[in-house]
Amino acid sequence: MTRGHSRQKFRASCPPEGYDFVREVAPEPGELLLPKTQASAFFGTPLTTYLVGAGIDSLVVTGCTTSGCVRASVVDACALNFKSIVPSDAVYDRSPTSHAVNLFDIASKYADVMPAWEAIERLRALADDRTRDRPT
């Protein structure tokens, strides 16, 4: 398979607006962007170095496709000892069956899978706990 064909497959798997950032999560000026050429966000990118350097040990993984890029990134994150959350309503796959099966498998082995609202509640609770634990 040629690189061009692989890229066409990737483009075909995402919604038409797949390369555009949703306004609410668009990068702010100065935020780090790491272009990737493979399914995993970790493969061939300095992502691990940035995360470790910043003291980050947990991730929220979103995007498309659930059976491709999301899954590959979550599997690699698990292998690198990062804890991951996958908001089930913030990932996409061209096939509802593939989407459901992969979410089930990801939840069984690699990450916590839950609706976005629940992930947000968990993250807020963690932030509240950290605020309470800080010395005054």
Q: In tens digits, what is the pLDDT along the chain, a chain of 136 residues? A: 344 444 444 445 555 555 677 788 888 999 888 888 899 999 999 999 999 999 999 999 999 899 999 999 999 999 999 999 999 999 999 999 999 999 999 999 999 999 999 999 999 998 887 777 666 6
Query: For the purposes of burial, counting CB atoms within 10 Å of the CB of 41, is it exposed (0-12), middle (13-18) or buried (19 or more)?
Result: buried
Query: Phi then psi for 62, rounded to 5 degrees?
Result: -130, 170
- Model pTM score: 0.79
Omega of the bond leading into 45 within 30 degrees of 0 (cis)? no
Catalytic residue among 14, 64, 69, 78: 69
Could you please state the CATH topology (level 3) that the domain comprising 37-133 is classified under: Rossmann fold (3.40.50)
69 tagged catalytic = yes
Three-state DSSP class for residue 1 = coil
